Amino acid sequence: MKRSRLAVIAVLASLCACGPSGAGPVPTAAGTETIVLRRADQPQARRPTLERLEREAAASGRPLEEVVKRYAARMAATSSPRPTDFEGYDPAATDPDVVIDGIPYAELVGRKGFSAAELRQAQDTVVSWLRSRPEVATMMAHPDEETGQVKVTVQPKVMPDDAGEFTRGLQLPDLGNPRISVEVRLSAEPVAVRKR
């Protein structure tokens, strides 16, 4: 009983630990190690519509926010039964269904660069992937909506000597958004979700 309580405390402490922003091991509670992959080491996502709108803004000399808002208004006008041709129309306020490259317009103008639904989908993708990995004994994951990170604690079947190499070997899937990243922590103790 006391050992399992210490394991829970260690996992909770590791979830609250803040480390340096670079990649590599980050010291945490006893029995755990955190590996944060540099953005350059994470799969790259494409946002073709946003990339096109960025090019359009640069070519026209208009602010990107204005170009994105005009695009969202055009999208709302073609898909919404509500009137969109009035002064001060803002699709973020009146039409929450406008989506650009999978990101709701309202969240784009909020400057996060990802939606809560997209972050949950990323978590589901990571969990599903890790469940298929033979080297993973147990795991748990949760999204951090402020940072755009999917934070994962993994108990390997065999604790590796090189945590960074182990994490890279997991070959995490492309999450579809460069603003969403994955933080992997290794734990020598079992964590919440057992692999099926």
Domain segments of the chain: what residues? 2-44+116-194, 48-100
For residues 195 and 46, the answer to whether their CB atoms sit within 8 Å is no
Closest CA to 35 of 190, 191, 185: 185
Q: Which residue has better confidence, 172 or 92? A: 172
For residues 114 and 121, the answer to whether their CB atoms sit within 8 Å is no
Banded model confidence at residue 40, pLDDT cuts 50, 70, 90: low
> With a threshold of 0.75, does the pTM exceed it?
no
For residues 172 and 45, the answer to whether their CB atoms sit within 8 Å is no
- The pLDDT tens digits for 57-95 are 889 998 888 888 888 888 877 766 666 666 666 666 566
Q: Where does residue 59 rank: exposed (0-12), middle (13-18), buried (19+ CB within 10 A)?
A: exposed
Q: What are residue 183's DSSP bridge partners?
A: 36, 151
Cα separation, 151 vs 166, whole angstroms: 16
